[in-house]
Amino acid sequence: MQTLLINPELLASLPTDSRLAGQRAVVTGSTSGIGEAIARVLAASGAEVVVSGRDADRAQGVVDAIIQAGGKAHAISTDLAGSYDTVRTFAREVTAALGGQVDILVNNAGVYPVTSTEALSDADLDAILNTNIRAPHVLVGVIAPDMAQRGSGHIVNIGSWMGRVGTANGAMYTASKAALEQMTRNWAAEYGPRGVRVNTVAPGATLTPGNADFSAALDAMTAGTVAGRPVRPIDIAYAVRFLLSDEAAFVHGSIVDVDGGMNSTRLNF
């Protein structure tokens, strides 16, 4: 649990800067965990942020923390597994809340039932398809054309180390993350020439409030990695902020692994 305890302390003491000043961002699934860390890091760097999720109270709590730290934020709740119209209405609402313009879209919301294939319920299968694949596609379809028309914008998708590794469970979840990585490459080709940079950050085994009960398993999974510990949500947030910065101006269609070396290295073989 030590990693999880460190993350809130770091978020509560974020230094502020102006590298994203004037940028207007929406981070889906940002009421806790990775999404909350992304929202708070972007706000600390000057972005005006829409915090979103299914729980209005939790969204407002993140907004309150951002405002107390001197940032700008809005809470807009929705269920991205809802209808196409629900997702499109959400896109219009966040655009209006940000003064008619979205400069940054972070597709972070996701559900992750990891079971055997025969144990995955129809409801969970629908939730994975709707939240992890359909919602990002619909949001990009609404928001990216406006970015392209202006000639600037950023889209960062949150993938997973599991999207490129075969595991004995979670076939549909891992496939959804592989699909998101491929959409990243396609969107980079589709919108990049018109000024919109599209990339993915792929977290490794990350300790969040949602999986805190499995902290011992995560410690065991990552003990043999280069980093030797689970990823913290703030580690993902820092990578997202880099991709949004001017320093990453030449990064298009890339998958940035933030996994402590889990996918790319083997210490014992």
**Residue 1's pLDDT is what?**
44
Residue 173 bears catalytic tag: yes
Phi-psi region of 55 (alpha: psi -120 to 50; beta: other; left: phi over 0): beta
The answer to whether 202 touches 255, Cβ cutoff 8 Å, is: yes
When pLDDT is cut at 50, 70 and 90, the band that residue 5 belongs to is low
Q: Considering the entire predicted model, what is its pTM? A: 0.96
**Residue 183's pLDDT is what?**
98
**Residue 191's pLDDT is what?**
98
Domain ranges of the chain: 2-11+19-258
The per-residue pLDDT for range 12-24, each reduced to its tens digit, is: 999 999 999 999 9
CATH T-level assignment (fold) for domain 2-11+19-258: Rossmann fold (3.40.50)
The per-residue pLDDT for range 115-128, each reduced to its tens digit, is: 999 999 999 999 99
Average pLDDT (164-180) is 95
- Strand ranges (E), 213-268: 255-258
**Residue 3's pLDDT is what?**
60
Give percent of the chain above pLDDT 70.
Answer: 98
Selecting among 112, 173, 191, 238, the annotated active-site residue is: 173
The answer to whether 111 touches 122, Cβ cutoff 8 Å, is: no
